[in-house]
């Protein structure tokens, strides 16, 4: 409701809650619902799916459909990352997901770290790793288009070396795509769980600094695997009048898939 009504709200409120950024990163998800027992690949969407991962979830479903993969989505549990940010680590999820016969996929880098902490690093894969694996044999189905892509690595992803490597490989598979590395960051983008709400002025300065760096690269797109980071950066770029788009890796892959082919 607040996202839809943002045009009538003062800019201070729009910036405080990243409403313009959220408007560019969220929409109703279209991933097929179903019991986790019915599908071999289960997306651990968690509590962020509806709030900030709607576009990513829709793109993920489009990619899966094109590449003939069936997905189920698990929304019944939270990974516990947000509670931990607020000092309530004891409110994390219970480790009761059955992981012996299924692939569990974390769509958000912040959730990935928490899910892997609960279930083990080898039992839950990140979105970049999964996309890289499913796109590897699909080179003939990718559109050739030149695109300069700035790679934003969220704080929660920087320790996930395999997922970062997979993200670089994934972009390397996209015909015409080129990676533009951002300069070393002074810190996080300012989202940091609830930090953008608790310390809005500092968080805004952090995102504006990274937004300026993105603009200076000449990139047309910035890719980040964290929904809060994407909303934060999208807000900063919107406030600066930038036309740089902020995408989830699944959205990027979806743009390169040739949907005209059967």
Q: Report d(CA 244, CA 217) in Å as an integer.
A: 11
pLDDT of residue 84: 62
DSSP string, 106-133: ESSHHHHHHHHHHH-TTTEEEHHHHHHH
pLDDT of residue 240: 92
SS3 content of the chain, % helix, strand, coil (to 5): 45, 15, 40
pLDDT of residue 112: 82
Hey, what are 3's tokens?
């996202």
With a cut of 70, list the residues of the chain below it in pLDDT. Answer: 1-39, 48-51, 76, 80-101, 139, 159-161, 185-187, 259-262
CB within 8 Å of 112: residues ≥ 6 apart: 106, 124, 126, 127, 156, 157, 160, 163
At 39-66, the pLDDT tens digits run 478 888 777 666 677 888 899 999 998 8
111 exposure class (CB count in 10 Å sphere: 0-12, 13-18, 19+): buried
What are the domain boundaries of the chain? 6-256
pLDDT of residue 117: 78
Residue pair 230/156 in contact (Cβ under 8 Å)? The answer is: no
> Please, what's the b/e burial string for 24-35 (b: 16 or more CB within 10 A of its CB; e: otherwise)?
bbbeebebeeee
DSSP code at position 8: G
pLDDT of residue 6: 47
pLDDT of residue 242: 94
Closest by CA position to 108, among listed 179, 55, 177, 180 = 55
Q: Note if the pTM is more than 0.95.
A: no
> Partners of 43 in the beta sheet?
73, 105
């Amino acid at each position: 409701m607040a996202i839809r009504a943002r045009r009538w709200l003062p800019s201070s409120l729009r910036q405080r809650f990243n409403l313009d950024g959220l408007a560019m990163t969220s929409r109703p998800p279209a991933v097929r619902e179903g019991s986790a027992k019915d599908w071999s690949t289960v997306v651990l969407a968690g509590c962020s799916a509806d709030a900030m991962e709607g576009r990513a979830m829709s793109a993920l479903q489009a990619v899966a459909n094109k590449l003939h993969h069936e997905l189920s989505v698990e929304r019944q549990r939270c990974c516990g990352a947000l509670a931990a940010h607020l000092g309530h680590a004891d409110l994390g999820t219970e480790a009761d997901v059955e992981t012996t016969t299924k692939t569990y996929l974390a769509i958000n880098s912040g959730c990935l770290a928490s899910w892997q902490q609960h279930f083990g690093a080898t039992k839950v894969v990140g979105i970049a790793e999964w996309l890289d694996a499913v796109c590897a044999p699909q080179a003939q189905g990718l559109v050739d288009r030149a695109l300069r892509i700035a790679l934003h690595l969220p704080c929660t992803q920087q320790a996930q070396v395999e997922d970062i490597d997979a993200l670089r490989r994934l972009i390397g598979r996209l015909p015409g795509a080129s990676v533009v590395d951002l300069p070393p960051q002074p810190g996080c983008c300012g989202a940091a769980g609830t930090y953008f709400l608790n310390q809005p002025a500092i968080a805004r300065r952090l995102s504006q600094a990274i937004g300026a760096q993105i603009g200076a690269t000449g990139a047309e797109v910035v890719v980040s695997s964290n929904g809060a980071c994407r909303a934060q950066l999208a807000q900063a770029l919107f406030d600066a009048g930038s036309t740089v788009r902020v995408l989830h890796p699944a959205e990027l892959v979806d743009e390169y898939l040739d949907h005209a082919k059967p």
